[in-house]
């Protein structure tokens, strides 16, 4: 049987601690002698940085379709120049957010058609799906409470974040083998242990 691509993503709301857990997993893998490239969306390429500024620091209104297409353009660059080269070398690529963020925020949150999002996303990612996705689930009021300065999406009303959370849970229910749902309110050490155990079990590292 062909080994599944070593592509792992972290998803969840702002303030769920997913960036910390992604970093800890990368460090854990490196300690075990594995190549692990930690990456994120939006913004981990030269063009992606410019797109990130447009997306997160923009004062003027933006149509949800434009928003999604900008995230997708960032993703094209991300897959082509960061993720695929690592996977081709046999390394682990660990991304803080990926297509599920678009389904959750632009699809469930903003109400764009999931069918359209999937079609564009398949093209943007060349069909590359993560083998394993950790969803750090957290009630929105708890995540948002951890921020004082909010960026454009963090300023959305609570109902928006409720839809995003429910959307993530639906995505996870539809693909139970790919998703591992974790309660983000657990202690960081406990979460890190659980994550490492899952990766170890799947790839025998």
Which residue has its beta carbon closest to ligand TYD? 105
Q: Treating both helix axes as pointing N-terminal to C-terminal, what angle do 64-78 and 46-56 enclose, rounded to 10 degrees?
A: 160
The C-alpha atoms of residue 64 and residue 76 are separated, in whole angstroms, by: 18
C-beta closer to ligand TYD: residue 151 or 175: 151
C-beta closer to ligand TYD: residue 14 or 137: 14
As measured in angstroms, the least distance from the Cβ of 154 to ligand TYD is 6
Cβ–Cβ < 8 Å for 34, 91? yes
Edge to edge, what strands does the sheet with 92-96 contain? 36-40, 92-96, 7-11, 132-137, 179-183
As measured in angstroms, the least distance from the Cβ of 96 to ligand TYD is 6
C-beta closer to ligand TYD: residue 118 or 202: 118
As measured in angstroms, the least distance from the Cβ of 19 to ligand TYD is 6
C-beta closer to ligand TYD: residue 80 or 205: 80
C-beta closer to ligand TYD: residue 90 or 111: 111
Cβ–Cβ < 8 Å for 199, 29? yes
C-beta closer to ligand TYD: residue 97 or 165: 97
The DSSP string of 4-25 is: PP-EEEEE--TTSSHHHHHHHH
As measured in angstroms, the least distance from the Cβ of 78 to ligand TYD is 9
Q: 3-state SS of the chain: helix, strand, coil percent to 5?
A: 55, 15, 35
Contact residues toward ligand TYD (CB under 6 A) are 14, 19, 41-42, 71, 96-97, 101-102, 105-106, 151, 153
As measured in angstroms, the least distance from the Cβ of 116 to ligand TYD is 14
As measured in angstroms, the least distance from the Cβ of 16 to ligand TYD is 8
The C-alpha atoms of residue 40 and residue 131 are separated, in whole angstroms, by: 16
The three state secondary structure string of 42-105 is CCCCHHHHHHHHHHHCCCCCCCHHHHHHHHHHHHHHHHHHHHHHHHHCCCEEEEECCHHHHHHH
């Amino acid at each position: 049987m062909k080994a599944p691509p070593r592509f792992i993503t972290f998803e969840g709301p702002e303030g769920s601690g997913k960036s910390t857990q992604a970093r800890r997993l990368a460090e854990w893998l490196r300690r075990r002698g594995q190549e692990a490239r930690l990456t994120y969306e939006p913004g981990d390429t030269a063009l992606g940085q410019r797109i990130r500024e447009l997306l997160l620091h923009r004062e003027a209104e933006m149509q949800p379709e434009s928003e999604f297409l900008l995230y997708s353009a960032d993703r094209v660059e991300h897959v082509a120049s960061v993720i695929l080269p690592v996977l081709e070398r046999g390394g682990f690529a660990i991304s803080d957010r990926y297509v599920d963020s678009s389904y959750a925020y632009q699809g469930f949150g903003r109400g764009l058609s999931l069918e359209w999002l999937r079609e564009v996303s398949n093209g943007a990612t060349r069909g590359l799906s993560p083998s394993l996705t950790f969803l750090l689930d957290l009630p929105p009021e708890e995540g948002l409470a951890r921020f004082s300065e909010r960026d454009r999406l963090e300023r959305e009303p609570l109902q928006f974040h409720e839809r995003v959370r429910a959307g993530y849970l639906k995505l996870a229910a539809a693909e139970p083998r790919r998703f591992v749902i974790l309660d983000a309110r657990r202690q960081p050490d406990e979460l890190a242990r659980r994550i490492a155990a899952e990766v170890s079990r799947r790839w025998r590292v």
